[in-house]
Amino acid sequence: MNKWRIFSLGFAVLIVSFIAVAQEQGLVKPRMLMREIIQGMPKGETQEVRVLNVHFEPRDRTPLHTHRFPVTVYVLEGTFTMEVEGREPITVKAGEAKMMPPHVKMTGYNRSNTEPLRLVAFYVSDPDTPFLDTIH
């Protein structure tokens, strides 16, 4: 009888272990897309978080502009080209993320003649701060 209890207990532990391993395999494991230490984040008591869906047709571009706070873009489809004052053009492809620094003149392009560009922009700012300031 004692051997039977030990066997049953061991078998139960084994089954629970298999269930735990099976559940562990089904867990989502986030993949780091970008990690960057930045300056220029809002310092007020409250901040506003914005997530913007941006669609560019072939050859579309943004106006020349600046941002008051850092902006992070994640490209869903196509290739995004950023021209940032004082730097070489930066290309961000689908599945990649890039941070755009604050207070720097920039413009963004879809250089493709045929393919659209879709990206998501993440922006944390003081409440009611414009997303961008156009430079004329």
Tens-digit pLDDT profile for residues 25-65: 788 888 888 888 888 888 888 999 999 999 999 999 999 99
Range of the domain at 75: 1-136
Note the pTM of the prediction, 2 decimals: 0.77
Let me know: does 121 contact 69? Beta carbons within 8 Å.
no
The domain that contains 23 carries what CATH number?
2.60.120.10
**Cα 121 from chain centroid (whole Å):** 8
Let me know: does 110 contact 47? Beta carbons within 8 Å.
no
Structural domain count of the chain: 1
Confidence at residue 71, expressed as pLDDT on a 0 to 100 scale: 96
Rounded to whole angstroms, the Cα distance separating 59 from 85 reads: 20
Let me know: does 118 contact 78? Beta carbons within 8 Å.
yes
